[in-house]
Amino acid sequence: MIKILIVDDDQMNCDLLQNVFTRHGYQVISTTSGREGLSLFRKYAPRVTLLDLRMPEMDGLTVLKEIRAIDPHAPVIILGGGATDVQENQARALRVTDFLRKGLSLDILVEAVNRVSQLPAQPNATPIPSSNSPIQQIDESVLVVDDDPLVCDLLVQFLSLRGYRALGVKDGEDALRMVEDVPPDLILLDMIMPGMAGIEVLQALREKEYPGGIIIMTGSHNEELLEEAWSLGPQEVLVKPIDLERLLTAIQLVLVCREC
């Protein structure tokens, strides 16, 4: 089984990526620390390393430099959210295998990992889907609203694999149009988005008397913003980084309470 190492300081991203690539037949090792990522790289010699660019303590470029000192040819893919041209050029100079700016779709990321994993060591290897038991379908729909395409796609796939009818949109206006057409049972709503922010979406949903459940996700610790969000009556507000088990529990509770 092909090993992948994921290094991303956002625990939710780590967990979602681990879930996706495990389903694609990879053995996945993950960490939220650049330093621990190096230790895991030395220990497991992964076939592909997925490396977040922006991390505290030790950023992606520093980790890449250390990896190159250990193995000059190791395949490394950097996820460069908010990267500058200078940073991308530095990564290219360090012979990064691929540099993917955030805003990419999940399909592009999976395709990149599949392609890289098939290079020299096992040129004919194709990841084999895991033989997990069939997914038990749940007759409830969840709409994910998040402007980060990768996070949106990952959450949709994560929830779909747990039996929910999950759909994703990248902005608030699309979310409101979708609610107008076919109201979902629950909306998972990012609070900080360009254009129409989550608070504005929530206000519009209340004006439309949307009957479903709403869970807010936010990376903001601004107390005034959080109070404003709570005042609009969501069933839950989860502060990022979000634990996936906690997210699932919150979704289940909201949907059960909605039926009561």
| pLDDT of amino acid 157 | 86
Write the CATH number of the domain with boundaries 141-259. 3.40.50.2300
Cα 143 from Cα 41, distance rounded (Å): 37
Cα 168 from Cα 186, distance rounded (Å): 12
Q: What is the pLDDT of residues 44-64, one digit of tens each?
A: 999 999 999 889 889 999 999
Q: In degrees rounded to 5, what are phi and psi of residue 216?
A: -90, 135
**Maximum Cα interatomic distance, the chain, rounded to a whole number of Å:** 59
> Is 141-259 the same fold as 3-117?
yes
Mean pLDDT of 67-89: 86
Neighbours of 68 (CB within 10 A): 15
Mean pLDDT of 1-10: 94
CATH of 3-117 given 3.30.980.20, 3.40.50.261, 3.40.190.10, 3.40.50.2300 = 3.40.50.2300
Predicted TM-score (pTM) of the model is 0.69
Token pair 């990841």: residue = 127
Grade residue 131 by pLDDT with cuts at 50, 70 and 90. very low
Cα 141 from Cα 258, distance rounded (Å): 13
| pLDDT of amino acid 161 | 81
**Domain boundaries defined on the chain:** 3-117, 141-259
| pLDDT of amino acid 88 | 84
Check pLDDT > 60 for residue 259. no
Q: Length of the chain in residues, anyone?
A: 260
